[in-house]
Structures are given as C-alpha cells and as structure tokens.
Amino acid sequence: MCKEAEVATEVMENALEAAAETAAAEAPAAEAPAETMADLGNALEESLQKGPVTDDPVWDKFETMMAEKTVFPVKVESAVKAGVVAFVDDIRAFIPASKLSTGYVEDLESFKGQTLDVIIITADRAAKRLVLSAREAIRIKEREARAAALAACQVGDVLEGTVDSLMEYGAFIDLENGCSGLLHVSQISYKRVEKPADVLQKGQKVQVKIIAIKDGKLSLSMKALQEAPERPERAPRSDRPRRERRERDEEVFSYKETGKATTSLGDLLKGVKL
C-alpha cells in the first residue's frame, strides 16, 4: 500500500512540473525597457573608448615586431601566383617569391608545408595587409653569426680560407668561421710579389694567420706562417777591415813682409792741379 502511494505522489509531481513549464512557455514575454537619450549617449561614449574597427591589439603587436625586426617561424599554407601564403595569429600573410630566399626561386609549390623564419616588412592595419620576408630573416641571422664569429677571433689564430677576390693591393679571403679578411700583398710572401694575381687565384684554398683586428676588420698574413729566409752573417766588428782615416790636405799660406813703402804722400799728390 505504501508502494502504491509513492508511485502516485511521483506521478503527481511530474504532472505539476509539466504544467508549470507549459505556463511559462505560453506567458507573454516581458517588454524591454524603453531606450533613453542617456542610454544612447553612454553607448556612443563606450564605442569611442573602444576605438575604430581597425584598432586591433594584434596589429599593434605586428607593428612592434616590424620595428624591432623580430625573427619568427611561420608555416607555408599554400602557393599563389606571385608567392606563398601563411597565417600569423589567424591573420593571412603574404610572402612574395622574391622574399622567399636569397637566391632565385623557381618552384613555389616546393615551399608548401615548409616552416620558414621570417620578419614582417609590411603591417598595414587599415588594409589588413601583412607581408613577410624570409630573405631578410636569413640575412639577419647571417649577420648575427658573422658578428659572433668575429667576436671569437683572436690575433694569432690560424685558419683555413678561400680566395674570394683579387685586388692590386691584396686579396680578400673568406674564412672557414664565416668571417672574411684582407691579405695585403706585403703579407703574401717573404719574396717580392708585384700583384696578388701573380701567386694567387680566385677559389684557391689558403692558410692564413690573423695579425690584427681593428674596427671589425681582420688583417691576415700568409708570410707569418712561412719560415723567414736566413740573412747572411756579418763579420765580427774586430774582423772588419779598418777604414783609413781621410786626412784633409791643408793648404798652408805663409806671408813674410820684406819690403817697405817707397811712395810718399808728396809723390801721390804730385801732378794734381788744385
């Protein structure tokens, strides 16, 4: 009997809940309060505080990254006619074909799916235009690597290098550590060298020694790694023949007064008419 009472009570509660839901659904919706001029003024002020539609914080970030030349990675999503497309913070970015590499790019499709280090070169928030460059990122990384290599160089270091170019005054050498330096013509050999091209050629492998570092430039020498030629020994001073002292011939003049004056004043005035 108790069991039947519990079932009846549960059925009644379910019926009451259903009736309440039906009544709520059929009740008329409450009317929204009328909008006043004060409400319109508040809404306008709020919109002005938010700024224009283009005032997106992500573009502030892009402009800062462009100014600081920040290098960051992106994944190429697709290739188009004049370059490739990637996305940065869900913003579509374009990488021109001329900015994909330091060399000529022929096959744009080969970049699809690759991850490239880039910098931002254009961030136009009004036009929603974002342009990237992988070539500039490569150059920045190369400059940083050269600066680090130069900082590690010390006078006296011996390095392998390749002749890059020949000038009248010397040769520029690309070193194995990524730096380059000048091998002056006077530092090529102990033997007299008129022109570097007489003994060196472009692409030739050489071994050089760093002899000076000034203002970020390396001075190199091949001569410093060569054995200096022996100089002929000079005879001891005691064995050297004496130089004969040159004596100046002196002319001796002697003057002896043997006569006396024989002309008088009268003789001098003789014949003078006054």
Average model confidence (pLDDT) across the chain: 80
User: Does 70 map to a domain?
Assistant: yes
- Tell me how far apart the alpha carbons of residues 182 and 174 are, in angstroms, rounded to a whole number: 9
Which of the listed residues 85, 119, 140 is the one where a domain comes to its end?
140
| Helix, strand, coil percentages, rounded to 5, for the chain | 35, 25, 40
Give yes or no for residue 125 having a pLDDT over 80: yes
Give yes or no for residue 199 having a pLDDT over 90: yes
- SS3 state of residue 148: helix
Distances (CA, A) of 56 to 46, 49, 52, 124: 16, 13, 9, 12
Q: How many structural domains comprise the chain?
A: 2
Give yes or no for residue 273 having a pLDDT over 70: no
- Same domain membership, residue 165 and residue 136: no
User: Does 271 map to a domain?
Assistant: no
| Segment among 14-28, 98-112, 119-133 with least mean pLDDT | 14-28
User: Does 123 map to a domain?
Assistant: yes
- 158 is in which domain, residue-wise? 153-225
User: Does 256 map to a domain?
Assistant: no
Assign 246 a pLDDT band (cuts: 50, 70, 90): low
Assign 175 a pLDDT band (cuts: 50, 70, 90): very high
Q: Which residues pair with 117 in a beta bridge?
A: 73
Give yes or no for residue 222 having a pLDDT over 80: yes
User: Does 253 map to a domain?
Assistant: no
DSSP string of 67-122? Answer: HHT--EEEEEEEEETTEEEEEETTEEEEEEGGGS-SS----GGGGTT-EEEEEEEE
Give yes or no for residue 86 having a pLDDT over 60: yes
The one-letter code for the residue type at 18 is A
* Block residue for tokens 């760093």: 210
* Block residue for tokens 């430039």: 217
- Burial category of 183 from C-beta neighbours within 10 Å (exposed 0-12, middle 13-18, buried 19 and up): buried
User: Does 30 map to a domain?
Assistant: no
Considering the entire predicted model, what is its pTM?
0.55
Count CB atoms within 10 A of the CB of residue 171: 28
User: Does 73 map to a domain?
Assistant: yes
Do the strands 217-221 and 205-214 form a parallel or antiparallel pair, or are they unpaired?
antiparallel
- Same domain membership, residue 104 and residue 66: yes
End-to-end Cα, the chain, rounded Å = 198
